[in-house]
C-alpha cells in the first residue's frame, strides 16, 4: 500500500493453504488478508473496465462479514466523544486475531470506496456524481475511524497500528476537521513509539495535503 503498487503475489495460492478453509479464527483472518490483497491488486492494476470485479469483491466482503463467528464480536466500544477528548472510538476485541481481521476488512471497504471516488461516479453526472462521491468519502472516514478505534482499544497489540497508518496514507487527505487531524497526527506519533515504522514522513505528507486542500477551499 505504501508503494501504491499491486501486490506482486500469486493470490490464488492463499486458497491452497490448509489454514484458509475452515471456521477457525485463523481461517477467517486469512480470508480477510486474501480479500484485501485482491482489492489492492485491482485498485493498483489500472484496469479501466472492472466494475463487475468490484461488485464481486463487495459481495465476498459482505459474505465474509456475515460469516464471522461470535468471537469476532466487539467486547466493548466507547463511542466518539469529542468533549471527552475521544475523537475516535475505542473498540475492544477478544484477541489480536480479531483486531487484524477487522482492520483488513475495514481497509478493503475503504479502498473500494476510494476507487468509487476516483472512478468519477460511474454513470452518474452533475449533482448525482457529487452526491455519490460525498457518500463514498464519508464511508471511507467511517472505516478509517473504526480501524483507528481498533488500534486504540487494543493497546496490548502494537501491530494494530500498522493498517490504520496505511489507510491514512491513502485516504487521510479526506479528513477535514482540525481536531480530528490533530488526533491523527498524535496517533501516528504514538505508532512510532510502539512499532518499528517511521511516521514523520507520513505526518509531513498529510499536513501538506491538508494545507493545500484548505487553500483550495478558500479560493
Mean pLDDT by 10 residues, the chain (219 residues): 54 62 86 93 73 90 96 95 87 97 98 86 74 93 98 95 96 95 95 87 96 89
Closest by CA position to 182, among listed 171, 194, 172, 195: 172
**What pLDDT does 47 receive?**
60
d(CA 64, CA 108): 12
- The residue whose grid cell reads 478453509 is 21
**What pLDDT does 217 receive?**
82
- Residues near 219 by Cβ (< 8 Å), separated by ≥ 6? none
d(CA 205, CA 218): 20
**What pLDDT does 119 receive?**
76
Q: What letter would DSSP give residue 92? A: E
**What pLDDT does 106 receive?**
99
Residues 150 and 102 sit within 8 Å (Cβ to Cβ): yes
**What pLDDT does 90 receive?**
96
Closest by CA position to 114, among listed 216, 43, 38: 43
How much is the pTM?
Answer: 0.90
**What pLDDT does 46 receive?**
66
> Residue 95: helix, strand or coil by DSSP?
coil
Amino acid at each position: 500500500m505504501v508503494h501504491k503498487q499491486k501486490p506482486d503475489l500469486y493470490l490464488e495460492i492463499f486458497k491452497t493453504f490448509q489454514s484458509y478453509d475452515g471456521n477457525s479464527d485463523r481461517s477467517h483472518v486469512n480470508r480477510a488478508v486474501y480479500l484485501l490483497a485482491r482489492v489492492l491488486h485491482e485498485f493498483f492494476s489500472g484496469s479501466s473496465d472492472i466494475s463487475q470485479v468490484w461488485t464481486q469483491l463487495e459481495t465476498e466482503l459482505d459474505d465474509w462479514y456475515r460469516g464471522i463467528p461470535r468471537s469476532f464480536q466487539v467486547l466493548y466500544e466507547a463511542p466518539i466523544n469529542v468533549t471527552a477528548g475521544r475523537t475516535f472510538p475505542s473498540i475492544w476485541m477478544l484477541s489480536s486475531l480479531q483486531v487484524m481481521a477487522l482492520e483488513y476488512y475495514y481497509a478493503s471497504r475503504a479502498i473500494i470506496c476510494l476507487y468509487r471516488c476516483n472512478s468519477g461516479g460511474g454513470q452518474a453526472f452533475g449533482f448525482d456524481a457529487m452526491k455519490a462521491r460525498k457518500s463514498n468519502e464519508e464511508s471511507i472516514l467511517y472505516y478509517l475511524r473504526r480501524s483507528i478505534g481498533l488500534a486504540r482499544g487494543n493497546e496490548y497489540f502494537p501491530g494494530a497500528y500498522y493498517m490504520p497508518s496505511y489507510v491514512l496514507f491513502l485516504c487521510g487527505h479526506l479528513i477535514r476537521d482540525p481536531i480530528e487531524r490533530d488526533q491523527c497526527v498524535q496517533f501516528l506519533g504514538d505508532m512510532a513509539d510502539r512499532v518499528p515504522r517511521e511516521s514523520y514522513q507520513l505526518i509531513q505528507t498529510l499536513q501538506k495535503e491538508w494545507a493545500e486542500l484548505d487553500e483550495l477551499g478558500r479560493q
